[in-house]
Amino acid sequence: MDAFLSKKKKEKDRDGDSKQESKEDERENRESKLEHREESHSEMEGERHTEDDEAQRHTVEEGGQRSAEDDEAQRHTVEEGGQRSAEDDEAQRHTVEEGGQRSAEDDEAQRHTVEEGGQRSAENEYSREQGNMEIGGEEIGSSCPQHPFDPVRVKNKVINGDALTDDEKKSVLQNRWLAPQGYSYPKRTLGGKQLRYNPQCEKNYEWLSYSPSEDAAYCATCLCFNKVKGKNFSFLTKGFTDWKNAVGDKRGVIPRHSHSEGHQRATELAENFMLITQGQKKDIKSVISKQYDDKVMANRKALLSIIDIIVCLGKRNVPFRGNWEGSSENGNFNYFVNWKAQFDTTLKQHLETAAKNAKYISPQIQNDLIACCAEDIRETLINNIKTAKFFTVLADESMDISGIEQLSLCVRYVSGEGESSEIREDFLGFCPLTQQDAKTIATVILRQLTEWGLHTEYLRGQGYDGASTMSGHVSGVQKRISDVHPRAMYTHCRSHALNLVVVHGCSDLPIVRNTMSIIEEIAVFFSGSSARKGALEAETSKEGQTTKKSGIPLMSDTRWSSRSTTLSAFVEKFTAVHSVLEKMGVEKPSVSAKAATLRHSMESFETIITAVMVNEILGYIHPLTKLLQTTHLDILTAYEEARNMRQVIANQREDKGSRLCFEKATALANSIGVVPAKRRVSVRQTYRANVTTESVEDHYRINLFYPLDHITAQLDERFAKNNKPPILASYLVPSSLKYLTPAREDEMLRWYHEDLPDQDTARQEIERWRHKFEDGPLPSFALEVLQKHNLSFFPNIKCMLKIFLTLPVTTCACERSFSAMRRLKTWLRSTMSNDRLTGLAMMHVHQKVEVDRENILRRWDASGHRRIQLAFD
């Protein structure tokens, strides 16, 4: 019985297994049919869209992949339902139905994506058509030359997936191609209209970067950091050219790109990158490694200490190098480095631990840091000049101690606003000249100004000496520069002109020329020996005379006030000089003959009265010589002061000037026992004055004092009234407004027309200016007007007055730079390179200009590959 029950149970189990297998087969058939329907549906969808381009098919494939993934999930759900018991079949079918609904929803989303892909495909096709169009008969593309700031330079690397270097990223982010003056952007036919790129978009969207070689716009930030593909991806790979739909609320492609996710992410990365390169944010190394950060700070502090020493020595004109003692140099620079290391622990540790070739105190490193200091000072000056906008160039040349012809370049401009307005003449550097012809000098001046970052289109004046190479009106330097910049008016240095007046006045008359030669020999005699100079000072003190200068200063053809100084000292110490020469003629056998000859020359009344009269005339000229060496002087004031001085000298002829000079000369002659007398008058006398007179006084008044009118004639010639158009702006000074005639006003406005900020209202503004100063005190100087009056409502007059004050008066700034050069490049430092000379001269001349030590260190670090870690880039 038990065997029978066991057999029945086994048969029943087999029947259950068969039923279960049958149910599983049915479920598998249903799953196969469902899968077949889904695949058929996907194939139909793919066939409907086979006419789309490659980008559309890519989107369809992505939609098909998503549908396949959903089907896989659906089959997985069905298989899990098959493993459940038969009682769960109803729930399984419900799940299958929900999976079908989800598949249908995915198919609908897929069709929507396909439609969008079709739209993008059409846009891409339109862009391809526009990119191949022709402009001016030539196809825009790779045939056009690429500018250094053209974004196309890095586009190909981005497309190929190559990483950009940090320098390339900085160049792309910081630099933009700027259209040259007069450049016309190419036109494209868009929607039946001729449209071109509008550079004003770059002001609203700073990330735009125009490619002149492709006539297309790129996104600078996306080129460097965008890795997200999406709409408007042409800003990264192909370049945007659809100028018709560039901006706008509805179809503006540029605004949409600026709000895209990829662009905003790239912008954030670009900002962080620039902050790191500028040192305002720590880079990843500093964040991760505190030790590295400490090392960087220590390195910076050590080098900043070295820079401090270089700046101090340079500004004070202290030589850096010294004598070599064995293998070490005992120079000022090394001495002060070691001295500062005694209380600067960071510098001391650097000197003790750094490698011998990595202490950064070698002559080459000194030259590099000196050059960086000069660049920092020059950048400050250039920024001030650019703020002033208009400037004039001053140039002069001189030979240094090593025989190199150095061209000194200075710039004159008006700095500041309101009460802080001032005229500045700043030295910018020396330029060695290989040749001294006009063409070479003019080329060097224009090239150097451009390299320093000045815009020569704002050059409004030139100031040189009167040498034919510089002032020639046919092929001189001023003519060559005027051909390039016609509004750069040339002015002959007024100090040189006045010096020529004195030179001709002292050399054209034989009697004056002979007397000046005697006085120069006496000055050389006393300056040749300290014993003679001491004897003269002792005799001067014995007579109770007190003088500021010892001895008699030597004369110089280039030192403008030297003649007046020498002559004044000779007349003041006349009796003392005679006494010393008399003693030396008896007590000093080695110089007795020379001393006796000079004494006999002094005992001539002709020499005495000539020295007194010439000293009287030069006494009027000397103050003007000092005045012309100042920088606040404008050109009109220089001319007026010269004419006033000329009138004073001319009045001495009519007044009692000759009488006073004769009385003073008589007193000096009596002090040494000389009787006033005139020279013998012969029957035939050709080479000296021979006018018959009744008295000695009349003789010298007619033959000496009156001929000194030659000086007034020279002043009339060299300081003639200048009516060039730029100087007509001087009539805008309130005290001279009454002399501004309509003709002068028309000529002035024609000259300044291009520089005026509001050209159409210039005449009305001048009328308002006249009305403003009808009553009350009237300013007499243009600089005074800028400092004490609000010119906000007179922009045109302000502009003309600034340009007028910018016109050069003298080249004294260049002469002062030559004095600094002679203090710097001495016999002991004659091998100094030109770059080192210019750098030290910049620091020495501009002692009051503050230098940024951090900026100098950045410049130095960026100038080459440094072993020391400073983490600026």
Which architecture does CATH list for 292-493+808-873? Answer: 2-Layer Sandwich (3.30)
pLDDT score at 182? 81
pLDDT score at 59? 37
Q: Using alpha carbons only, give the angle 295, 296, 302 rounded to the nearest 5 degrees.
A: 90
Residues comprising the chain, all counted: 873
Other C-beta atoms closer than 10 Å to the C-beta of 106 total 17
pLDDT score at 161? 78
pLDDT score at 285? 56
Contact between 807 and 727 under an 8 Å Cβ cutoff? The reply is yes
Place of tokens 């889904």: 38
pLDDT score at 127? 37
CA 857 – CA 306 distance, rounded (Å): 10
pLDDT score at 88? 41
At position 221, the amino acid (one-letter code) is T
Token pair listed for 542: 């014995």
Longest pairwise C-alpha distance within the chain? 188
CA 432 – CA 404 distance, rounded (Å): 7
pLDDT score at 806? 95
Q: Three-state DSSP class for 235?
A: helix
Place of tokens 């402009």: 135
Q: What is the DSSP letter of 704?
A: I
At position 42, the amino acid (one-letter code) is S
Phi-psi region at 673: left, alpha or beta (left = phi > 0; alpha = psi -120 to 50): left
- CA-based end-to-end distance of the chain: 97
Contact between 480 and 439 under an 8 Å Cβ cutoff? The reply is yes
pLDDT score at 747? 93
In sequence order, what are the residues at sequence separation of 6 or more whose Cβ sits closer than 8 angstroms to the Cβ of residue 438?
Answer: 469, 470, 472, 475, 476, 477, 479, 480
Q: Three-state DSSP class for 421?
A: coil
At position 679, the amino acid (one-letter code) is R
Measured N-to-C along each axis, helices 853-862 and 363-388 cross at an angle, to the nearest 10 degrees, of 110
Distances from the Cα of 341 to the Cα of 46, 346, 352, 753, 857, angstroms: 80, 8, 10, 61, 19
In sequence order, what are the residues at sequence separation of 6 or more whose Cβ sits closer than 8 angstroms to the Cβ of residue 444?
Answer: 407, 431, 433
Measured N-to-C along each axis, helices 438-451 and 477-484 cross at an angle, to the nearest 10 degrees, of 50
Residue of 687, 679, 517 whose CA lies nearest to 606: 679
Query: How much of the chain is helix, strand and coil, in % rounded to 5?
Result: 65, 10, 30
CA 173 – CA 228 distance, rounded (Å): 19
pLDDT score at 581? 92
Q: Three-state DSSP class for 720?
A: coil
In the chain (873 residues long), the average pLDDT of successive 10-residue segments reads 43 48 52 46 40 39 42 42 40 40 43 41 38 38 57 81 84 84 86 86 87 88 77 74 85 86 87 80 60 85 95 93 75 92 93 89 93 95 95 95 94 92 95 93 95 94 92 92 94 89 79 89 90 89 72 76 86 91 83 90 91 89 89 89 88 77 91 83 59 77 75 84 85 91 93 92 93 86 91 93 94 93 92 94 94 92 81 67
CA 533 – CA 519 distance, rounded (Å): 15
Other C-beta atoms closer than 10 Å to the C-beta of 863 total 13
pLDDT score at 486? 93
Token pair listed for 842: 């910049």
CA 158 – CA 156 distance, rounded (Å): 5
Q: Three-state DSSP class for 228?
A: coil
Task: Give φ, ψ of 591 to 5 degrees.
Answer: -125, 15
CA 708 – CA 610 distance, rounded (Å): 11
At position 551, the amino acid (one-letter code) is G
pLDDT score at 835? 93
Q: Using alpha carbons only, give the angle 783, 786, 791 rounded to the nearest 5 degrees.
A: 155
Alpha carbons within 13 angstroms on the beta-carbon side of residue 563 total 30
**C-alpha torsion angle, residues 803, 806, 810, 811 (rounded to 10):** -130
